[in-house]
Each structure stands twice: as C-alpha cells, then as structure tokens.
C-alpha cells in the first residue's frame, strides 16, 4: 500500500492500474461470498465468512473507489466515528431481538408458567 | 483535481490584498492572516419579486421565511394547548370537546411544538439567518438547495395542517405515534390523519436534510479568513452540533414513518403484532411494536438535544454580550456541546423503561443518561460564573436568559429523577413527566427564542423592540409558565395520569380540581401574553426607534456588516478578516468595553486580550 | 488528495494533520470541494437510513418464532432444468460492481479533462444501472408470481416479504435516481458543460468536473449498500 501511495503522489491523478486491481478484487471477493452459499456452509462459519467478505468489499469500495484512502484524516474520521452509534444500536437490537423471541416463546408457546 | 485547485488558489493569492501580506514581512506582521483558500462565492441575485422574496436563495430571507412559518404553526400549537387546558381545568365547558378531539389536540400540539415549531425555528430560522453572517460567509454554500429546503418544509406544514380537514380529523395517537394503536380503528384519525402525519414527517425530514447539509458545510468549509472553529460564537456551535444530530437522527424517523406507512397502506406487519379485535383476529401478525419505539426514540432523544443545543449556544452568546463579560470556559462549553451531542445517541431507551423491553437495558440507559448530566451541569455552572461580577444589563434580553437558567435547572433536576429506572417507574405516565419535559424543552428553549428575538430583531429590521412591552411580556410569561408547570410536578406525585381526557370521580380529583383550574387560567394568560410580542413587533416596525449599527455593542460578525440590515452577500465588497474570538468584552486596557472580531491585534496592542 | 498544496498552509499527514486541519481557519476538509463534502455528509445520513432499515430487518428476523424462508432456495433460478441458487442475484451483483468500476474510471478521466472517455464511461455506468433496475424488476415480478407479497408469502414468516420489498425497493429507488442523474451528467459531459463552465439549468452554478466525482460518490455508495443487502438478505 505504501508503494502504491508513493507512486500516486508523482502523478496528478491515480494510475488506472489501481482501479482495475480493485475492480478485479471486488469480483473475486463477490465470487467467494457467493461460494459460501454454493458450498452451503452453515452456522458460525457461514456468518463469519459472509461478514468478512462483506466488510472487505465495503472497505475496498470506500477506500479506493470513493477515494477515502487518499483523503485527509479530518474527513475520514468525521465519516467513520458516527458508526459507533450504529454499532451500539445493532448490539442492543441483537439483545432486544433475542429477548422478544424469548417472551414470545415463553408466553405464546410455553404458556407463561 | 489538484491542478485545478492550485490554479484557483494562485489566482486568489494574487487577488486582493492577500498577496501583499503574503510576500511582505510575514514574521513581523502580527496582523497576518492566511490568504483565502477558495474563491469568493458566486451568488445568484434575484431581480423579480418572486426570486427576491418568494423563491429566494438568500439565506437571510429563507431564515425569516422559516421563522414566520414556524411561528404560524406554533400559534396553532398554542391554540390547541388552550383547548386542552380548557377541558382539563373546566371539563365539559366547551361543548364540542369529545375525548377524540382531546387526543387529536394532544397529538398535534406535541408534534407541532417539537418538530414543526422548535426544530424549524432554531435550525431553519436562526440557523439560516445567523450561520452565514457569524462565520463570515456570503451565503450558504448551496443556496438553491437551501431554498428547496424551505419549500419542502412549507409543503410539510401544509400537509400537516391539511390533516385537520380530512374525514376523521388528524391523528390522535399521541405525539409518539406508537403502533399498533396509531393505525388501528378506534384511535381518532387512524385513517387519513395518521397517513398525512407520516407523509408530512417524511417531507420534513427530506427538506431538513437539504438545509442541514448546507448548515454543516457552511460552518466547516466556508468560514472567512482567520475564523477557526474555536473562534466561532457558541450560537454557531450549538446550531452546528444540533444539525449533526438531526442529520443522524432523522433517518430513524424517516425509516419508522416509511415502515408505518407500509403497515397502514399495504398491510405489512413490521410493527403490528397479532391482534384480537372484538373476538376476531386481525390480518396483522408477527410484528414488533417495540421496534417502532426503539426507532422512534433513536430519533426522539437526539431530537430533544436538537432543540436544546441551539438554545444552549444562543443563550451563552446573549449572556456574554449583556453581562459584558467573556463566556466562562469557552472551550469547556464547546466540548460540552459536542459531548452532549455525541452521548445523546446512546441514551434513547430511557424513554422506554416501562415499555417491556429487555430488562437489562434499564441499567445501561440509566448509566448513560446520568453521564449526560455532567456536561449539561458544566454548562449551567459556566453561565452562572459568566454572570458573576459581570457588568450585567438588566434589559429584556438578559431577563429572558435568566429565566432560561432557572427553568432549565428546574427541568434538569426533575430529569435526574426520571433518568433512574426505579424512580421513573412510579412517575412515568404522570403529570410529573409532562412538567419535566415542558420545563426543560418547552419553556427553557422558548425563553431563549424570546431573548434571541429581542436581541437580533434590531439586526433583521433595523429597529429596537420596545423595552417596556418586552418586560411585561417576560414577567407574565415567566411567572405564568412557572404557575403552569410547577404545580404539575405535584399532580404527578399524587399520581394524576397524563393523556387522560377527564378524571371523572377518581380520588385524584379532590385535590387536583382546584389546581387544574389554576393551571388552566395561567395557561390562558401566558398564551395571550405572547401576543404582546406580536403587537410589539408590529408597533416597532412602524414607529420603533432606529437601532443603528451594533446597538448591543457585540463583537460577532453579524453586527459588523456593511449595511444594517445586511444585504444579499452580507459583507459588501470584501469579506471580513477575523483575528479573535467574539467574547472580548471589558478587556483591561482597551478603549471601549468590546473588541470586535475584526479588530487586528496591532490596534489593541496594549490590552490584555485572551489568546484565541 | 495527497499532492495538493494550499497557500501558506502545512498539510501534515495522519492524526497530526487532522488536528491542524480542524484547528485551522476557513476549511476543515482541506482542498475538498464543498459539494463533495456535502455529498459525503449526505451519504453519512443515508447510511443511517439504510442502517435503520437493516437493523429493523435484523430485529424482525431475530424475534420471529415462525420459520424464516431460506433465501438460497427462494432466490434460486431454473437454468436448463437445474436450480442454481442466487443466480440472478449474483449477476446483479456483477452488473453493479461493473458499473461501479466504470464510474471510478469516469471520475479519473474527468479529472484528466478527457471529455470523450469520461462521457462514455458515465454512459456505460448509466446503462449498467439501468440493467440492474431491469433485473430487479424481473426478480420482483418473479417473486410476486410465486405468491410473495409485502403482507404474506408462501415460504414462512410474513415479514420476509415485507422487508424484502421495502429494502430492495428503497435501494432500487436510489439506483433509479442515480441512473437519471447519470444520463443527465453524461449529456452534460458530452456537451462540454464542464469544460466551458456552463451554468446549471436550475442551480445557476458553474459546471466543473468535480461534479462527476460527487456523482461517483453517490454511485459507489449505492454499490456499497448493495454489498450489505447482498450479505444480510441473500446470503445470511
């Protein structure tokens, strides 16, 4: 990555190569995440692989296609920190979803005894 | 890209006096300020009446448009509150008042006051008018979108008002619009009423996003030379942070509105559980009402601070100017605003302690809620210390500020009661809650709005509002508002539930009857007193005393424009250059008791100014 | 980006640069066009919209006691009598990533003021987007044909249909809006509005190739959202 960056600094815009690389990488990653379904992995392995490929793809799109890798930290940080609120929301809703399921099973199926 | 920017910058560096400064003796020049980074803004000047006053792209006109529209909806909200108080104080006196009407009025009053009045007034009104002036910009960065933003808001208000006239009337589900009851038969306005409300909210969010982007980027990217973030008036900080909250919180409202609209129109069951109605199972099933509550309050709690933070910012400036003293702990104030803003995304479910959510959440949300009290209390201390040994002018503006501090502290302390789960459970859904949130986000921000109107009216209209009428207006409002909301705490303690149309023969009524009548009378008087301000404005516009330039001897840039009121483009030929913060009041050694932000250091070399 | 210069301002890298940028006057995002900054903040806000949708979906799916349909089978496509799971979705992903790539190149050629290349690439992106929307319409009609409705579906929990139509519909709306703008901008590039600085029809602002980058940000964001929808809706 460092080398790429140094090269880029010498020209006014980024070389076409980097875009083609990322483009190709996105296809490969999409193919891999499709394979997760194809080979019918289940359980924790499936979920972690899906998340891994998802975040990798999202990171590549943001970093290179949306140029975030070359942007200054002021912008990058402004964009990424608010995601902590989303992370908190997700974490709490996971707990809430489980609790709702518990109450439903407990009161509707078990009978609340 | 970079070449282009370089070109622009080199052209700029050559234009105006920046080149001289740049090439001149830089080290010795104490007045040196970096050259401009971006070219001067290219403004569209309207020529016809329509482009100048109706579809206007000038942020100041848009600000006034926002202000007037918001005040109009506010008056509607006020009349609704009168009708509610009429029913609560004197049940049965108004013959047309049914329980359905009462719930509709409660709902519309709440929604109007929180979203269409306070939010629009602070961010749309004050934000549009003050941000470009205070940061030293010619206009918002994207004036066209800013104009669209206002008209979206206008349409949203029109849709909201239309719901009064559709069959079934407006929605009566409470301002929180909780499903499943909001869209089920039996709740007033569950047909067209709720639909129009959801559409109106969605339009408001879309319109506000357009305006909010403008406010944020104007503050971040269009400040004038020398204006650092830490030299911004706290008004801008408050409005800026509130806008950040709005940009991140309104999406949750938009999403919940869309989902509920689908539940209503298409019969999906996002929020609708299996429901038995008159022995029959409805089509709905499997949805989660508590999900709506989470989404709603993920928006709803930041919304409280969207209303409160601009008030915090504005009141800091007003106190500083009218006490002729720099604001105590400016940086602490800024960080408190930012900290409150950030924390406000982690406290939402303290509105849901009795909702039946995961019981462990109570612990988490009570903790974060009490943490947020720390920066808030810091701000209150700082306002009081700013007043301490200041050269206080007891004029109308200062009175409103003092009124704000008192009512806000009152509302804040009751907030600590309600933030704790074990104390909240017996108090929730009683008048204690009503008293708390009216005190903290109704009356307190309203006090600031009034103070701000008296403070900035001379800038907008060029004339000073009548002080005598202003003092009458203040004292009636302040004492009256206390008479309304202070007894409500007591009503809450004895257990009077909120949102009840009538108490009938319940045991509460013996001790609450007289108090309800008293509160209602006070509410009529306070409401009527607001028309003193309208009369004052009309009178002042006709015969008021001309304000001249900078009547309050303030430092911030909006008072140092080329003309008063400022024209389109704000600052004439040349943008101001900023050398200091806006709080250099009563500086030892200075000729006058204020040093405007544009005064270069060389002119005040022998004074003890703060380094900012 | 990294090579820019700003008169009399030391652009430091990393967190130190963030501190000095934030503490400096005039702009916080040094060298960033205001329109680009505005688009970024809008996308941040839009991220919250999609996050709220996906969180609702997660909560809905996690708390239903009724069997959730298995997406791999629901979205399978029959090809020559063989059922291939998620075939259409895979092609849609392929199309959207392709269009994202052409957009990235369009932005690059825009900055090099290569009018022809930029225009063709924007047009290619627009056509890619249009293909995506068309395939989505096909997918929707196929599911509707199979009896999936927003309020019910034959495979299991009713919320499956609700969330599917709402989330993909909202994403599809974003794509459609993007396609409209891509066609408009392709015309503007070919007509040379960004070379001559011709003023916009409504905004009366001078045209500049930076607009292509701004549009590009939006388009990549649409792709980004699809990455999440693909993972959470189709694969999970």
Residue-wise pLDDT tens digits, B246-280: 999 999 999 999 999 999 999 899 999 888 888 88
Q: What pLDDT sits at residue B177?
A: 93
C206 contacts B1? CB cut-off 8 A: no
**Considering CB atoms only, which of B36, B221, B270 is closest to C37?**
B221
In a domain, B138, yes or no: yes
- B14 has a pLDDT exceeding 60: no
Please tell me which residue, B20 or B579, carries the higher pLDDT value: B579
B360 contacts A85? CB cut-off 8 A: no
Domain C34-235 sits in CATH 2.60.120.10: no
**Considering CB atoms only, which of B4, B255, B283 is closest to C52?**
B255
In a domain, B346, yes or no: no
**Considering CB atoms only, which of C3, C7, C28 is closest to B220?**
C28
Residue-wise pLDDT tens digits, B272-287: 988 888 888 888 888 8
Tokens coding B453: 């109107």
Interface residue B515 vs chain A (CB under 8 A): no
* Residue A42 burial by Cβ neighbours in a 10 Å radius (0-12, 13-18, 19+): exposed
Residue-wise pLDDT tens digits, C59-106: 999 988 888 888 888 888 777 777 778 888 889 999 999 999 999 999
Residue-wise pLDDT tens digits, B220-235: 999 999 999 999 999 9
Count the neighbouring beta carbons within 10 Å of the beta carbon of residue A7.
Answer: 13
- B479 has a pLDDT exceeding 90: yes
Q: What pLDDT sits at residue B28?
A: 56
In a domain, B223, yes or no: yes
Strands (E) located in B457-557? 463-464, 545-546
- What CATH number should be reported for the domain holding residue B98? 1.20.210.10
How many beta-carbon contacts under 8 Å exist across A and C? 162
Q: How far apart are CA C2 and CA C13, in angstroms?
A: 9
Please state the domain count of chain B: 1
Q: What pLDDT sits at residue B510?
A: 76
pLDDT > 90 in chain B, percent = 72
Q: What pLDDT sits at residue B1?
A: 39
Domain ranges of chain A: 2-71, 82-113
Q: Is residue B49 very low, low, confident or very high in pLDDT (cuts 50, 70, 90)?
A: confident
- B366 has a pLDDT exceeding 50: yes
Q: How far apart are CA C149 and CA C145, in angstroms?
A: 9
Mean pLDDT by 10 residues, chain A (113 residues): 42 74 91 86 88 93 90 92 94 93 87 69
Average pLDDT over residues B170-199: 92
C223 contacts A65? CB cut-off 8 A: yes
Q: How far apart are CA B460 and CA B466, in angstroms?
A: 15
Q: What pLDDT sits at residue C13?
A: 87
Tokens coding B402: 């003092």
Cβ C171 vs Cβ C229: under 8 Å: yes
ipTM: 0.94
Instruction: Give backbone dihedrals phi and psi of B32, rounded to 5 degrees, phi first.
Output: -65, 135
Average pLDDT over residues C46-58: 95
Residue-wise pLDDT tens digits, C90-148: 899 999 999 999 999 999 998 888 899 999 999 999 999 999 999 999 999 989 998 88
3-state SS of B126-140 is HHHHHHHHHHCCCCC
Between positions 20 and 39 of C, the ones with CB within 8 A of B are 22-32, 34-35, 37-38
Residue B468: partners with Cβ closer than 8 Å, 6 or more residues away? none
Residue-wise pLDDT tens digits, B88-115: 988 888 788 899 999 999 999 999 999 9
- B239 has a pLDDT exceeding 90: yes
Between positions 28 and 57 of A, the ones with CB within 8 A of C are 30, 33-34, 36-38, 40, 46-47, 50-51, 53-54, 57
Tokens coding B493: 């303690």
Average pLDDT over residues C204-209: 82
Cβ C52 vs Cβ A86: under 8 Å: no
Residue-wise pLDDT tens digits, B275-326: 888 888 888 888 899 999 999 999 999 999 999 999 999 999 999 999 999 9
**Considering CB atoms only, which of C2, C62, C101 is closest to A9?**
C2
Domain of B101 in residue numbering reads as: 57-273
In a domain, B345, yes or no: no
Q: How far apart are CA B362 and CA B345, in angstroms?
A: 15
What chains are in contact with C, requiring at least 3 Cβ pairs below 8 Å? A, B
Buried b vs exposed e over B465-504: b needs ≥16 C-beta within 10 Å?
Answer: bbeebbeebbebbbebbbbbbebbbebbeebbebeebebe
How close is the nearest chain B Cα to the Cα of C80, in Å?
35
| DSSP helix/strand/coil, B18 | helix
Cβ A33 vs Cβ C230: under 8 Å: yes
**Intervals of CATH 1.20.120.80 along chain C:** 34-235
Residue-wise pLDDT tens digits, B484-496: 999 999 999 988 8
A26 contacts C97? CB cut-off 8 A: yes
Q: What is the mean pLDDT of chain C?
A: 89
Q: What pLDDT sits at residue B17?
A: 42
**Considering CB atoms only, which of A19, A23, A37 is closest to C235?**
A37
A86 contacts C220? CB cut-off 8 A: no
Residues of B in contact with C31 (CB under 8 A): 2, 5, 37
What chains are in contact with B, requiring at least 3 Cβ pairs below 8 Å? A, C
- Tell me which DSSP letter residue B191 carries: T
Per the document, the length of chain A is 113
């Amino acid at each position: 990555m460092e080398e790429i960056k140094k090269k880029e600094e010498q020209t006014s815009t980024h070389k076409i190569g980097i875009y083609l690389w990322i483009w190709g990488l996105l296809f490969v990653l999409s193919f891999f995440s499709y394979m997760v379904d194809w080979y019918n992995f289940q359980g924790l392995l499936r979920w972690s692989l899906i998340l891994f490929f998802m975040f990798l793809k999202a990171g590549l799109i943001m970093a290179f296609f949306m140029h975030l890798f070359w942007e200054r930290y002021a912008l990058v940080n402004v964009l990424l920190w608010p995601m902590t609120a989303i992370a908190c929301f997700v974490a709490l809703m996971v707990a809430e979803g489980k609790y709702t399921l518990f109450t439903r099973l407990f009161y509707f199926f078990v009978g609340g005894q | 890209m970079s070449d282009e920017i370089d070109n622009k910058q080199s052209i700029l560096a050559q234009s105006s006096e920046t080149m001289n400064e740049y090439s001149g003796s830089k080290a010795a020049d104490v007045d040196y300020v970096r050259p401009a980074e971006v070219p001067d803004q290219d403004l569209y000047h309207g020529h016809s009446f329509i482009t100048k006053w109706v579809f206007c792209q000038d942020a100041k006109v848009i600000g006034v448009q926002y202000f007037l529209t918001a005040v109009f909806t506010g008056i509607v909200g006020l009349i609704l509150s009168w009708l509610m108080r009429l029913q609560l104080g004197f049940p049965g006196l108004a013959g047309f008042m049914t329980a359905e009407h009462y719930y509709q009025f409660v709902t519309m009053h709440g929604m109007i006051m929180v979203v269409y009045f306070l939010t629009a007034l602070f961010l749309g009104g004050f934000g549009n008018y003050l941000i470009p002036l205070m940061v030293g910009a010619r206009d918002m960065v994207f004036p066209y979108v800013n104009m669209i933003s206002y008209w979206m808001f206008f349409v949203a208000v029109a849709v909201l008002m239309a719901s009064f006239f559709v069959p079934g009337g407006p929605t009566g589900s409470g301002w929180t619009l909780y499903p499943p009851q909001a869209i089920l038969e039996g709740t007033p306005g569950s047909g067209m009423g709720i639909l129009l409300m959801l559409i109106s909210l969605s339009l408001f969010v879309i319109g506000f996003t357009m305006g909010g982007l403008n406010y944020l980027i104007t503050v971040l990217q269009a400040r004038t030379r020398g204006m650092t973030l830490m030299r911004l008036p706290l008004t801008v900080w408050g409005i800026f942070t509130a806008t950040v909250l709005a940009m991140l919180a309104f999406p949750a409202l938009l999403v919940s509105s869309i989902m509920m609209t689908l539940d209503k129109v298409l019969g999906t069951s996002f929020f609708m559980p299996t429901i038995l109605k008159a022995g029959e199972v409805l089509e709905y099933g499997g949805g989660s009402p508590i999900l709506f509550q989470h989404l709603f309050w993920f928006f709803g709690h930041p919304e409280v601070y969207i209303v409160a933070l601009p008030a915090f910012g504005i009141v800091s400036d007003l106190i500083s100017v009218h006490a002729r003293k720099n604001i105590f702990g400016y940086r602490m104030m800024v960080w408190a605003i930012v900290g409150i803003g950030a924390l406000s995304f982690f406290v939402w479910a303290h509105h849901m302690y009795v909702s039946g959510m995961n019981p462990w959440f109570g612990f988490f949300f009570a903790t974060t809620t009490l943490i947020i009290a720390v920066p808030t209390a810091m701000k209150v201390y700082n306002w009081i210390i700013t007043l301490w040994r200041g050269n206080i002018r007891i004029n109308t503006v200062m009175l409103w500020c003092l009124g704000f501090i008192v009512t806000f502290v009152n509302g804040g302390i009751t907030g600590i009661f309600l933030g704790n789960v074990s104390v909240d459970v017996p108090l929730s859904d009683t008048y204690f809650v009503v008293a708390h949130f009216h005190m903290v986000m109704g009356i307190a921000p309203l006090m600031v709005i009034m103070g701000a109107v008296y403070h900035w009216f001379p800038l907008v209209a060029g004339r000073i509002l009548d002080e005598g009428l202003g003092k009458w207006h203040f004292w009636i409002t302040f004492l009256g508002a206390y008479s309304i909301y202070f007894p409500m705490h007591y009503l809450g303690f004895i257990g009077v539930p909120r949102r009840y149309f009538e108490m009938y023969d319940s045991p509460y009524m013996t001790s609450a009857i007289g108090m309800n009548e008293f509160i209602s009378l006070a509410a009529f008087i306070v409401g009527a007193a607001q028309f003193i301000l309208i009369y004052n404005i009309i009178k002042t516009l006709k015969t008021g005393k001309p304000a001249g330039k900078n009547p309050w001897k303030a430092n911030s840039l909006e008072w140092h424009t080329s003309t008063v009121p400022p024209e389109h483009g704000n600052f004439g030929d040349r943008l101001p250059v900023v050398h200091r913060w806006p709080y250099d009041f009563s500086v030892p050694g200075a000729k006058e008791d204020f040093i405007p932000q544009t005064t270069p250091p060389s002119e005040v070399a022998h004074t003890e100014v703060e380094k900012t | 980006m990294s090579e820019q210069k700003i008169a009399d301002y030391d652009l430091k890298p990393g967190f130190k640069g963030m501190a000095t940028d934030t503490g400096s006057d005039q702009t916080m995002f040094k060298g960033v066009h205001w329109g680009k900054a505005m688009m970024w903040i809008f996308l941040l806000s839009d991220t919250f919209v999609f996050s709220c949708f996906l969180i609702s979906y997660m909560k809905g799916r996690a708390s239903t006691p009724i069997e959730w349909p298995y997406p791999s089978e629901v979205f399978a496509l029959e090809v020559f009598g063989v059922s291939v799971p998620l075939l259409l979705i895979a092609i849609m992903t392929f199309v959207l990533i392709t269009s994202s790539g052409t957009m990235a190149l369009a932005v690059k050629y825009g900055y090099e003021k290569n009018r022809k290349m930029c225009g063709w690439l924007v047009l290619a992106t627009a056509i890619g987007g249009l293909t995506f929307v068309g395939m989505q319409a096909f997918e929707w009609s196929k599911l509707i044909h199979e009896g999936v409705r927003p309020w019910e579906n034959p495979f299991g929990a009713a919320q499956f249909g609700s969330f599917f139509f709402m989330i993909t519909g909202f994403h599809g709306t974003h794509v459609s809006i993007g396609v409209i703008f891509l066609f408009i901008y392709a015309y503007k590039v070919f007509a040379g509005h960004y070379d001559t600085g011709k003023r916009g029809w409504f905004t009366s602002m001078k045209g500049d190739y930076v607009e292509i980058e701004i549009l590009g940000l939006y388009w990549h964001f649409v792709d980004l959202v699809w990455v999440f929808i693909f993972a959470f809706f189709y694969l999970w």
